[in-house]
Amino acid sequence: MKLVRIVSIFVKITRHRLDRLVPAHLRLPLWLTVIVASLRVFPEPAESPAVSLRLAIESLGPIFIKFGQILSTRRDLFSEELISELEKLQDQVPPFPTNLARQIIETELDASISDIFAKFSDRPLASASVAQIHEAILTTGEEVVIKVIRPGTEVTIKRDIDVMLLLARTIERFWSEGKRLHPVDVVSDYEHTILNELNLQLEAANTSTLRENWLDSNELYVPNVYWDYCSPRVMVMERIYGARATDLELLRDKNVDLQKLAHLGVNIFFTQVFEHNFFHADMHPGNVFINTSDPKNPTYIALDCAIIGSLTEEDKNYLAQNLLAFFHQDYAKVAELHVQSGWVPENTNLKDFEAVIRSVCAPIFQRPIKEISFGKVLVGLFKAARQFEMEVQPQLVLLQKTLLNIEGMGRQIYPDLDLWETAAPYMENWMRSRYDARSLFENLGDNIPRWIQQVPQLPDLAFGALTELNSLRDGTSEQIRLLRDIKKKLGQHARKARYTRIGGVALIAAILASLLPLSGYATTPEVLVGTSILGSLGVYWMYIQS
């Protein structure tokens, strides 16, 4: 089955002649050059290469559509024509039939469409890789949208994940860099993430939590979920109105403050990651809208909360310290933190590692985002990773993906955004807030109830600890006594061995001396007496040591 899927992928690439997207001047490995050359024997489609790429991605299914959505944010890497086509993958994927959507809704909610909705639009409002959206009005009058999972999506995703796992295992086994990059762990994490997207009740819970986090912020708005009409395959939530984050012409027509909007986006991202530890991890432009009702104070609207990320406290702290060290250009600290976190081996030469990080990252500071090539920075960091055996951290992959999306939107909204100027003060304030008196008292207050519950157990715990210490002391004394006995016995064995060697030598000498007459050598009475005494002593020493 996996082989069939791989062949199917290759056939679709062949049919759409994606080799036309490969620049003629690009130097490729020999094996890839042969593949590209072989594709050119097939007829060229009528559509442009950009359209062919979008059609190929659509035909390959949800996994590849998600990847295309990420590419659609990178205007620094691709042409406007290609970006324009890839943006259609965000919410313009061909829809599935409305009669199937109606059937799924009625089955999941155990009621007819007319019983729940006063009005239902058969024409999808949007259609993406995993689900499509229909407009409706509840019988109680609220405007809502209905999200419905595509039929058969789970089977397609699991099939493609199997192919990706096969390729990941092959890479890990046969490529020298494979184990360090953890491709199997990365794909497994992605499998967990994308399968969660198929459970709309989980997305509804994520949406409610994110809404609660930002409810009174006037920075990010998250629609309300109608829990009475939610199931694993159907979710009903508040209908929102706003401008797409990438519709710059409309934003300019409404005199939206784009600089303020860009800075607000950075603050929202860092707040989600470091304060809430609950961040929207699928922030492509199709999921982000702008409330333009107050153009001088625009706010964001977040949709599609299926993919949510969080970090452990350890990773969050190391990440924060790393970012601050980067912002302050303290590359020695960055190198040290990488070793402390276990992201590079303990025997790493910190001076060499620091020099490589400096050479890669120093050029990007104090420059607007439009002048920064993060592609080159990533290539440089990848080379550093190979040199110092830096391991890929699967738990940070979602965060890295979100950063790519944020950067892509930042370039579109306000190309002159200085990411470092915006982020550094935030990180400094966050670090200070973690160690100020108020934060310490809050942590103390959080722990007091748990400590109170443990107070009655303190005598037993103290008695147990003392008993354990006594046991350790007794055990230590016993270990010291045993070590002394071992040392004494080793000394005795050493003396026995020494005496045995002396006795053996004496006995051998006596035997050799007694054999002299048999060899024709003359002997005197003194020699015979001495030989007898020497042999007797040798036998005696060996006897008493046995």
- In this structure, what token pair is assigned to residue 545? 């040591």
**Unique residue bearing structure tokens 């759409």:** 16
Is 391 strand, coil or helix? Answer: coil
Is 209 strand, coil or helix? Answer: helix
How many CA atoms within 13 Å lie on the side-chain side of 493?
Answer: 6
Q: Nearest 5°: phi and psi at 142?
A: -75, 135
Cα 264 off chain centre by: 25
Q: Give the C-alpha distances (Å, rounded to integers) separating 162 from 3, 168, 328, 364, 470.
A: 10, 10, 43, 39, 57
CA nearest to 247, candidates 287, 289, 282: 289
- CA atoms of 154 and 266, how far apart (whole Å): 34
CA nearest to 65, candidates 166, 183, 150: 150
Give the amino acid at 244: R
CA nearest to 309, candidates 400, 422, 384, 211: 400
- CA atoms of 363 and 374, how far apart (whole Å): 11
* Burial degree of 43 (CB within 10 A; 0-12, 13-18, 19+): exposed
CA nearest to 58, candidates 95, 23, 101, 19: 95
Judge whether 264 and 300 are in contact, CB under 8 Å.
Answer: yes
Cβ within 8 Å of residue 14, ≥6 positions away: 39, 42
Indicate if 216 belongs to the active site. no
Strands (E) across 254-369 are located at 279-280, 288-291, 299-302, 308-309
Judge whether 74 and 401 are in contact, CB under 8 Å.
Answer: no
Is 143 strand, coil or helix? Answer: strand
Pairing type for strands 220-221 and 299-302 reads parallel
CA nearest to 308, candidates 229, 444, 215, 199: 199
Q: Residue 520: which region, alpha, beta or left (left: phi > 0; alpha: psi -120 to 50)?
A: left
Q: Residue 541: which region, alpha, beta or left (left: phi > 0; alpha: psi -120 to 50)?
A: alpha
In the set 91, 282, 304, 418, the catalytic residue is 282
What ranges in 110-182 are assigned the alpha helix state H? Answer: 113-116, 153-174, 178-181
What residues are labeled active site? Answer: 282
